[in-house]
């Protein structure tokens, strides 16, 4: 509950979600809220949240948090003066835009880029403080998109890249003055580490990406992988599933009921039929529940980045299977070289790399620990920056004679 004695700062969480079937987006949102609450406590203010993003089939708001859903961005509704999104922005003192982690780019198509861009333009039109929270920036392959993105980011109060590759990309666009680097906020996702599931057996977790298994959103190897991903998964399961010393778990992390090409569970059901020796993880109700499950593994591999972050940040040795530069950028920023690049290497090379990773788990564990030390230090700095912002907003709320920054009710 909000302490009525404290000034309240209302934070709009743009392109976040607490109901997304992609638990990675949910992990970003839960973690962002955790960081904001810690920063607000140090700043001596209360904080409430308005989520401004896509909705899914779940609902996992953190307990005890003052949070509601606002309107979805719509440029047409804004022009007609009927925008719930615009009215939600009016209630916010600050906008944190996380771009669903990796959506501020034109590689997913001009329509999606335009949608992300317009939402930022509407925030700027309202003269609301705009911070782009840690995320992958770009690439912007079209010059008009690159120009428009640079124009918007130059006018943001701060732009945080979540990896050194994105930070360098910002520099190449001439965006250094208000840019900084901080790791993915999902490293701060809370979890419970359960006891071992089967005494004496090695617990192997494999996140199977339904998206890669079906060839991408459009099929036909959309991401131009050198690896035959379905073949890779089957070869690993053929190697591991009948080993009496192993418990092999198939772990979903994206669970949309209406998008079978993107649903990890669809691919997992197929594989569980082919390999009856494997075990299937449950349909998780929240990102924290998924991370708590993953944290019980002795070794993990996966092609959903936030499933791999869940493993890494809970201390589990992991081999991520990269299909885009967001993997390479993030894990290289942590000094972690144990990433299987499915764009660059063949199926057999990737299989051998993953199998070897399981054999040298202690080496991976040491690298994971070093990487986590770096990640948590970066997020501590991000939290301190938010503390400064909340302190400033709290001061303005107390001194503004017009009451413009009073943390209005959602």
**DSSP labels, 44-98:** T-EEEEEEES---S---PPTT--EEE-PPP-HHHHHTT--HHHHHHHT-SEEEE-
36 in a structural domain: yes
Residue 6, pLDDT score: 82
pLDDT tens for 141-190 read 999 999 999 999 999 999 999 999 999 999 999 999 999 999 999 999 99
Q: Supply 221's token pair.
A: 């190897």
- Residue 275 inside a domain? The answer is yes
Asked if pLDDT for residue 1 goes beyond 70, the answer is no
Q: Is the pLDDT of residue 89 over 50?
A: yes
- 365 and 376 both lie in a single domain: no
Residue 105 contacts residue 72 (beta carbons within 8 Å) = no
Distance between CA atoms of residues 73 and 51, nearest Å: 11
Q: Are strands 8-14 and 158-161 parallel, antiparallel or unpaired?
A: unpaired
Mean pLDDT of the chain: 92
Asked whether the predicted pLDDT for residue 271 surpasses 50, the reply is yes
Using a pLDDT cut of 90, give the percent of the chain over it: 83
Domain count across the chain: 2
**pLDDT value of residue 79:** 67
Give, as one character, the DSSP assignment of residue 227. Answer: S
Q: What value does the mean pLDDT take over residues 388-408?
A: 64
CATH number at residue 334: 3.40.50.2000
Burial class (CB in 10 A: 0-12, 13-18, 19+), 319: buried
Sheet of 202-207: strand order equals: 279-280, 246-251, 202-207, 299-302, 318-322, 340-341
pLDDT at 191 over 90: yes
Range 295-304 burial, b when 16+ CB lie within 10 A, else e? bbbbbbbbbb
Q: Are residues 343 and 296 in the same domain?
A: yes
Residues 175 and 323 both lie in one domain: no
What tens digit of pLDDT does each residue of 273-329 get? 999 999 999 999 999 999 999 999 999 999 999 999 999 999 999 999 999 989 999
Residues 234 and 319 grouped into a single domain: yes
Question: How high is the pLDDT of residue 78?
Answer: 63
Q: What is the pLDDT of residues 240-256, one digit of tens each?
A: 998 999 999 999 999 99
- 258: which residues sit within 8 A by CB, 6+ positions away? none
Whose CA is closest to 393, among 23, 33, 36, 71? 36
- Cβ-based burial of 257 (10 A; exposed 0-12, middle 13-18, buried ≥19): exposed
Q: How confident is the model at residue 196 (pLDDT cuts 50, 70, 90)?
A: low
For residues 167 and 36, membership in a common domain is answered with yes
For residue 406, name the pLDDT band (cuts at 50, 70, 90). very low
Its pTM stands at 0.92
Distances (CA, A) of 347 to 209, 233, 236, 300, 304: 16, 9, 10, 18, 18
Domain membership flag for residue 193: no
- Inform me whether the pLDDT recorded for 407 exceeds 60: no
Residues 41 and 110 in one domain: yes
160 and 274 within one domain: no
Asked whether residue 22 falls in the same domain as residue 131, the answer is yes
Q: Is the pLDDT of residue 410 over 50?
A: no
Contact predicate 46/391, CB 8 Å: no
- Residue 167 sits in the same domain as residue 296: no
Residue showing tokens 């980045």: 305
Q: Which two three-digit tokens encode residue 385?
A: 């920056």
Answer yes or no: do 37 and 154 share one domain.
yes
Question: Among 323-332, 335-344, 397-406, which is the least confidently predicted range?
Answer: 397-406
For residue 407, is it within any domain?
no
Position 75 pLDDT exceeds 70:
no
In a domain, 197, yes or no: no
Are 355 and 391 contained in the same domain?
no
Domain limits for position 16: 8-187+372-399
At residue 135, does pLDDT exceed 70? yes
Q: How many CB atoms lie within 10 A of CB 356?
A: 11
Cα separation, 361 vs 205, whole angstroms: 13
Question: Once rounded to an integer, what is the mean pLDDT over residues 252-280?
Answer: 96
Does 391 fall in a domain? yes
Task: Give the containing element (helix H, strand E) for 210.
Answer: helix 210-213
- Measure the CA angle with vertex 199, ends 196 and 204; round to 5°: 65
pLDDT digits (tens, 9 = 90+) for 95-115: 999 999 999 999 888 988 999
Burial class from Cβ neighbours inside 10 Å (0-12, 13-18, 19+) for residue 369 reads exposed
pLDDT at 403: 40
- What average pLDDT does the segment 346-353 reach? 98
Band (pLDDT 50/70/90 cuts) for residue 2 is: very low
Indicate whether 81 pLDDT > 60: yes
Alpha-carbon distance of 49 to 33, in angstroms, equals 8
Say if residue 100 is in the same domain as residue 144: yes
Assess if residue 58 is contained within a domain. Answer: yes
Whether the predicted pLDDT of 82 surpasses 80: no
Q: Say yes or no to pLDDT of 358 above 90.
A: yes
pLDDT over threshold 90, residue 219: no
In a domain, 3, yes or no: no
């Amino acid at each position: 509950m909000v302490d009525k004695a404290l000034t309240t700062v209302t934070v709009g969480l743009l392109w976040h979600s607490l109901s997304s079937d992609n638990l990675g987006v949910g992990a970003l949102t839960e973690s962002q809220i955790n960081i904001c609450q810690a920063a607000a406590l140090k700043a001596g203010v209360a904080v409430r949240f308005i989520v401004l993003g896509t909705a899914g089939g779940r609902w996992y708001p953190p307990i005890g948090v003052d949070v509601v859903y606002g309107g979805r961005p719509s440029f047409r509704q804004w022009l007609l003066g009927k925008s719930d999104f615009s009215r939600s922005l009016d209630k916010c003192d600050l906008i944190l835009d996380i771009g669903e982690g990796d959506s501020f780019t034109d590689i997913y198509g001009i329509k999606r880029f335009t949608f992300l861009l317009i939402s930022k333009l509407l925030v700027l039109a309202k003269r609301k403080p705009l911070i782009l929270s840690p995320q992958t920036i770009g690439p912007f392959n079209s010059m008009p998109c690159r120009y428009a993105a640079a124009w918007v980011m130059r006018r943001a109060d701060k732009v945080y890249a979540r990896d050194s590759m994105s930070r360098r990309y910002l520099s190449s666009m001439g965006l250094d003055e208000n840019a900084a680097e901080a790791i993915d906020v999902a490293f701060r996702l809370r979890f419970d580490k359960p006891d071992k599931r089967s005494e004496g057996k090695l617990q192997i977790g494999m996140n199977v990406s339904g998206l890669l298994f079906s060839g991408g959103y459009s099929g036909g190897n959309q991401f131009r992988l050198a690896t035959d991903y379905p073949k890779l998964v089957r070869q690993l399961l053929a190697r591991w599933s009948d080993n009496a010393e192993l418990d092999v778990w198939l772990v979903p992390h994206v669970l949309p009921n209406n998008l079978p090409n993107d649903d990890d569970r669809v691919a997992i059901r197929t594989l569980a039929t082919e390999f009856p020796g494997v075990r299937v993880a449950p349909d998780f109700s929240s990102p924290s529940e998924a991370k708590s499950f993953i944290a019980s593994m002795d070794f993990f591999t996966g092609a959903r980045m936030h499933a791999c972050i869940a493993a890494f940040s809970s201390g589990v040795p992991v081999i991520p299977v990269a299909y885009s530069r967001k993997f390479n950028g993030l894990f290289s920023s942590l000094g972690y070289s144990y990433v299987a690049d499915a764009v660059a290497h063949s199926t057999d090379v990737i299989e051998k790399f993953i199998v070897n990773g399981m054999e040298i788990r202690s080496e991976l564990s040491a690298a994971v620990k070093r990487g986590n030390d770096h990640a948590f230090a970066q997020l501590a700095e991000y939290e301190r920056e938010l503390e400064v912002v909340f302190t400033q907003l709290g001061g303005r709320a107390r001194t503004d004679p017009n009451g413009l920054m009073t943390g209005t009710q959602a």
